[in-house]
Structure 1
Amino acid sequence: MFKRILVATDGSTLSKRAVASAISLAAQHDADLIALTVVPRYATTYFDGAMTFSHEDVARIEKQWAERAQEMLGAISTRAQAAGVRIKTAAISSDRVADAVIAASKKHKSDLIVMASHGRNGIKRLLLGSETQHVLTLTTLPVLVLR
């Protein structure tokens, strides 16, 4: 039924369960899996809740976030391959999570999006419940939301 499944993840406990479900679903349907994480950009104004750091410090912080995202995607890739699932991974840097998820689903010609109902809070957030709601509202694809 499904040929390409995109799973959006932020590494949270709930998101990890969504990844496990997406891997299982991809294996059942012999579908390709695209694992996506959206890496936020560091807030640069007081209005966005930022502390002021030098450009070098901001670049270092964003690099650390990107490296953690790649490590997480590598672990997902290993799990998917062990289950016999073909997988691609993508880390996108964006402040607009829902838009990035929808754009990735179009780019990869996905026919299903899988994501958790909510993610982390605070500075570590990558996906938020409101982002899931935005994806549900803005996409024409089916979305499997896991709680």
Structure 2
Amino acid sequence: MKRILVPTDFSEHAEHALKVAAIIAKKNNCEIFLLHLLELPNQMNDAVTGGSSIPEVMLFIKKANETLQKIKEQPYLNGISVNASVQFERAFSGILSFNKKNEIDLIIMGSHGTSGIEEVLIGSNTEKVVRLSEIPVLVIKKNIRDFKFNNFVFASDFSKETKKPFKKMIEFAKIFNANLYLVMICTPNSFKTTKMSEEIMKKFIDSFEVENYSTHIYNDVNIENGIINFTNSIDADLIGLCTHGRTGFAHFFNGSISEDLVNHTVKPVITFKI
């Protein structure tokens, strides 16, 4: 992992994400890409694509670049290579297209973590990026002065399709030498006996070379509550999940678990695409 993208709307939540990116970048010698997206009215878009220099557009660009320059000068970014750019595009589509052009390895985004409406970017762009991104997305909910990954929860059903993202999760955990807590959540709607759950997890983990891990089975009324309650019970630093990219946010879990957790837990959440 060498390239980290941090989209910013210049809010405090975007700054929280950038501070975490700085910590990760210093530990892993990464380059940070800071991206501000301008979504202009149609007539201004026409002017931009037509090559015109109307005063309103030039003012937006000038102010955005000035703010980005001030951000780059923050002390917590000292010693880190930071590339800043302004792009005219819708937030979530602009983030995804930027990834492909610049071979980004990780996206770090800020979020209020309270509801789908109160997002760091307009509308539900954080959830859209989580759903559609081909690369891992780390969502930060609050200011974390000393970000660490001592205890990393990975919640899964440990099916075959989660093996590929699980490899990415292992690589990420190794950066911080984290203790991995692999947990299967059992609910009334997805009940498995303890013996069955243990067998599934053992068969899954035996195909990987993993250190510093433990397996757990946790019962709760639903999967989202189970993940949050288990995470809090061990005072974990981070929650890891797998996601599908299908329309409607279909997951190997029932419902929209990753999206719900992005909104409802104060813990950082990292998602890995299946």
Residues 67-78 of structure 1 mapped to structure 2, 5 A cutoff: 67-78=62-73
C-alpha offsets along residues 49-102 of structure 1, whole Å, 9 cap, x if unaligned? Answer: xxxxxxxxxx433322222211121122223785211121111012x2111001
Question: RMSD across aligned C-alpha pairs, in angstroms?
Answer: 2.4
What code does the residue aligned with 2:132 have?
L
Q: Distance in 2 between matches of 1:81 and 1:87?
A: 12
1:91 matches 2:83 = no
Aligned to 1:8: 7
Aligned to 1:49: none
Percent identity between matched residues is 29
1:138 matches 2:132 = yes
1:103 to 97, 100, 118: 97
**CA shift for structure 1 position 128:** 2.3
What code does the residue aligned with 2:99 have?
S
1:10–1:127: 8 Å Cα contact kept in structure 2? yes
User: Which has the higher Rg, Structure 1 or Structure 2?
Assistant: 2
What code does the residue aligned with 1:131 have?
N
Q: CA, structure 1 residues 22+100, in 2 after alignment: closer, same or farther (shift >3 Å)?
A: same
Aligned residue-pair number: 126
The two structures have a TM-score, normalised by structure 2, of 0.42
Q: Structure 1: which 5+ residue stretches go unaligned?
A: 45-58, 119-124
- 3-state SS of the aligned residue for 2:100? helix
Q: CA, structure 1 residues 3+87, in 2 after alignment: closer, same or farther (shift >3 Å)?
A: same
- 3-state SS of the aligned residue for 1:89? strand
Q: CA, structure 1 residues 85+34, in 2 after alignment: closer, same or farther (shift >3 Å)?
A: same
1:117–1:129: 8 Å Cα contact kept in structure 2? no
Q: Distance in 2 between matches of 1:69 and 1:115?
A: 18
C-alpha offsets along residues 105-144 of structure 1, whole Å, 9 cap, x if unaligned? Answer: 11111110011125xxxxxx98225111111111111001
Q: Distance in 1 between matches of 2:3 and 2:102?
A: 8
Q: Distance in 2 between matches of 1:62 and 1:140?
A: 32
Q: Structure 2: which 5+ residue stretches go unaligned?
A: 44-53, 113-118, 142-274
1:60 matches 2:55 = yes
1:27 matches 2:26 = yes
What code does the residue aligned with 2:129 have?
V
Aligned to 2:152: none
Q: CA, structure 1 residues 80+38, in 2 after alignment: closer, same or farther (shift >3 Å)?
A: farther
Higher relative contact order (CA 8 A, sep 6+): 1
**CA shift for structure 1 position 3:** 0.7
